[in-house]
Chains A and B, each alone.
Chain A
Amino acid sequence: MIEYSWLIPIMPVFGFIICLIGGYRVRMGYGQVAIFFMFLSFLISLGSFLDVLAGKTYHASITWAIVGGKEIEFGVLIDSLSGIMVLVVSLLILLIHIYSMGYMVPFIRTNQLSRYFAEMQLFSVGMLGLVIADNLLLMFMFWEIVGLCSYLLIGYFYRKPEAARAAMKAFLVTRAGDVMFLIGIIVLFVYAGTFSLTELFELAPEMDLTILTFAAVMIFGGAVGKSAQFPLHVWLPDAMEGPTTVSALIHAATMVKAGVYLVARNYPLFVLSPDAMTTVAYIGGFTALFAASMALVMVDIKKVIAYSTISQLGYMFLALGAGSIFAGMFHLMNHAFFKALLFLAAGSVINACMTNDIREMGGLRKVMPVTALTMLAGSLALSGIPPFSGFFSKDEVILSAFQRGDMVLTFFGIAAAALTAFYTFRVWFMAFVGDYRGREHPKENPKIMTSVLTILAIFATITGFIKWWFEGYMHHFIETYPHEVLERAEHIGTIQPHLIPNEGLMVATVVIAATSITIAYLGYVKKVFDPASIRNPLRPIHAMLYDKYYMDYLFEEIFGGRIGLYWARATGWIDKYIVDGIVDGIGKTTMYAGGGLRRIQTGNIQIYLSIVVVGLIAILLYFEVV
């Protein structure tokens, strides 16, 4: 089957064309078409993966252009890394397609579903192509398609001005990352003369270390934009304006993972440069902690999960930077399932309650048992409670930092784990326990949605157990790197092929996570029995004030003082005004500069001519000086 792996991204192309030709007509049928083609893609991915398991790899390419004696080849590379990645991605996209069939029903009347499915299919093309591409330029092309589709999908509800603005923001911020990626590619091409990944890995040890570090950091810059790492994370919380399935797709499985995958794919380039690895690890570790503390204070269920995603992606980069591709990829896969689950469950809740605000939920456990249970599984996995999948991978990530001997990184990892457990269960308790505080009459969603949730919940529960197998699998993969790369990397200590289990660390992280959950339980479940909020269920303002007070109390519990609260507020403030402000500010400065510059276009021809003379004199002065 592996010989046909090039068909994987081709299949959705057909679906895209069919849905596109469908034009503006509203028919659910396009969904079935899209699912059909995605299913074919998935089957081929599965077949290819089985071949990979049997020890095969596949690399085929065609020459697209020869320019100045340098060939530009495009092709497909299926090895252990891309084999398993393409399987996970195609499975998730398939599940999200199926879920969309149920989720998008209420929107049939107002929006064009064929457009939705066309965009989804194009997104799948980009994502699957990105995974199996065998060279950087091709990766970049699919990378851009992915970015374009996420822009279209976030802005799907285009009549909402916030959606349009969020889409634009996501587009521009990730483009900033793309620029760095492209610069990295160009630098590598100029100095190594090839785009091909395998050839680059062969050539990398001979390249100048400064150039290599620069290129690697630039490629990582692309990943920072796409994977919403500090300081380019600002687009992701805003991107929550899209339909929830879209958020799930973009966040959980695919688009944000593209950045992590990009680093993992180019790992041989990174491991040769200690500085690049350190950059990756620290940006990842810092983002993990920073975003987790942001998630503490959000009341919008989707935003909590969005910040949580940023934080978990930080974990993956932390692991990659610390030298363990196994831990990074393992967390990526587990996270793909449990975060998709959390998003889809959140979508299910939002569909039922018609609001994103967790203060207006509560007690949903009784009316939506399936959603409640599946989301519980997802939350336990995210918090890192054994035996759910997150436990295994998070443990490996922290272990990789610990084993590297870097205490700062280890602290980032453990502190973020504590916060993660707390905010996750804060959401779960507020939404599912206690009494309902909203005005709607929530009820369980259609079967098609809950069945997807169930499948994902099963995955979230069990995928952790592949750890032992997966460790060997990735270890085997690392051995396929060029010999010189491995030797150099082991010599300079940037790579950790083996992680030695550390029981003390494992117990400590579990205890910390469990304590956080207990605190959340004490706080939010106790609060629910408070008569004040039962008596005034229709006064959200009151509840909000109460809630706020309780939050303060809880923070005192957690951090043993008000410092913690101030810190959380401070990070919130910094994020909102400084980081976001700088990103926005650059945009605004550009705009105003344009506004000022166009004033020289006065419309008077003689002023134009005078400016020509000034320009001429400037050139002559330059010649005179040089």
Chain B
Amino acid sequence: MIPVSLFVILSAALFATGIFGVSTKRNPIVMLMGIEVMLNSANINFIAFSRYYADGYIAQIFAMFIIVVAAAEAAIGLAIIVRLFRNFGTVNIDVFSRLRW
């Protein structure tokens, strides 16, 4: 059996990748993907942990919910990105800093 620590290391690596993606990429769609990666790293944790507890199905249900919520989040995110493109004519996030100070 694969030790749980390996899963945690994998998820931590994914999580870090996600954070890195969100905070460096200039394209909001890629940022959105970074967020999905972050959420999925949590999913990996849940699924991995679910094997070590008797009522592990709860963690699997949690993961299902996370997937659903992530989809909704992505939908709203994409909708907003579309509006941004219509109004600003670009999706480079450097432009979206009129609200500041």
Q: Which residues of A contact B (CB under 8 A)?
A: 598-599, 601-606, 609-610, 613
* Cβ–Cβ contact B93 & A605, under 8 A: yes
Task: Say if the beta carbon of B87 comes within 8 Å of chain A.
Answer: no
Partner of B23, one of A598, A603, A613: A613
6 closest Cβ pairs, A-B complex: A603-B100, A603-B97, A609-B23, A606-B23, A598-B101, A604-B97
Chain A residues whose CB sits within 8 angstroms of the CB of B93 once the complex forms = 604-606
Minimum C-beta distance from A367 to chain B (A): 59
Task: Say if the beta carbon of B65 comes within 8 Å of chain A.
Answer: no
* Cβ–Cβ contact A605 & B96, under 8 A: yes
A606–B101 Cα distance when bound, in Å, is: 15
Chain B residues whose CB sits within 8 angstroms of the CB of A604 once the complex forms = 93-94, 97, 100
Number of chain B residues whose Cβ lies closer than 8 Å to a Cβ of chain A: 13
* Cβ–Cβ contact B22 & A601, under 8 A: no
* Cβ–Cβ contact A606 & B22, under 8 A: yes
* Cβ–Cβ contact B96 & A613, under 8 A: no
Closest B residue, CB atoms, query A607: B23
Task: Say if the beta carbon of B86 comes within 8 Å of chain A.
Answer: no
Closest A residue, CB atoms, query B100: A603
Q: Could you pull out 24 A-B pairs where Cβ atoms are within 8 angstroms?
A: A598-B101, A601-B100, A602-B97, A603-B96, A603-B97, A603-B98, A603-B99, A603-B100, A603-B101, A604-B93, A604-B97, A604-B100, A605-B93, A605-B96, A606-B22, A606-B23, A606-B24, A606-B31, A606-B93, A609-B22, A609-B23, A610-B23, A613-B19, A613-B23
A604–B101 Cα distance when bound, in Å, is: 11
- CB interface residues, B 46-101, toward A, < 8 Å: 93-94, 96-101
Chain B residues whose CB sits within 8 angstroms of the CB of A613 once the complex forms = 19, 23
Closest A residue, CB atoms, query B34: A609
Minimum C-beta distance from B12 to chain A (A): 13
A604–B98 Cα distance when bound, in Å, is: 9
Chain B residues whose CB sits within 8 angstroms of the CB of A609 once the complex forms = 19, 22-23
Chain A residues whose CB sits within 8 angstroms of the CB of B97 once the complex forms = 602-604
Chain A residues whose CB sits within 8 angstroms of the CB of B94 once the complex forms = 604
Closest A residue, CB atoms, query B98: A603
User: Which of B23, B31, B98, B99 has the most C-beta atoms of chain A within 10 angstroms of its own C-beta?
Assistant: B23
Chain A residues whose CB sits within 8 angstroms of the CB of B100 once the complex forms = 601-604
Chain B residues whose CB sits within 8 angstroms of the CB of A602 once the complex forms = 97, 100
Minimum C-beta distance from B97 to chain A (A): 3
Chain A residues whose CB sits within 8 angstroms of the CB of B23 once the complex forms = 606, 609-610, 613
Closest B residue, CB atoms, query A616: B19
Minimum C-beta distance from B42 to chain A (A): 15
A90–B36 Cα distance when bound, in Å, is: 71
Minimum C-beta distance from B22 to chain A (A): 6
A605–B34 Cα distance when bound, in Å, is: 14
A604–B31 Cα distance when bound, in Å, is: 13
Minimum C-beta distance from B41 to chain A (A): 15
Minimum C-beta distance from A596 to chain B (A): 11
A610–B98 Cα distance when bound, in Å, is: 19
Minimum C-beta distance from B25 to chain A (A): 8
Chain B residues whose CB sits within 8 angstroms of the CB of A601 once the complex forms = 100-101
Closest B residue, CB atoms, query A610: B23
Minimum C-beta distance from A127 to chain B (A): 42
Chain A residues whose CB sits within 8 angstroms of the CB of B98 once the complex forms = 603
- CB interface residues, B 20-44, toward A, < 8 Å: 22-24, 31
Minimum C-beta distance from B21 to chain A (A): 10
Known: A605-B93, A609-B22. 6 other contacts (CB 8 A): A601-B100, A603-B97, A603-B98, A604-B93, A606-B93, A610-B23
* Cβ–Cβ contact B24 & A599, under 8 A: no
A609–B93 Cα distance when bound, in Å, is: 13
Minimum C-beta distance from A287 to chain B (A): 42
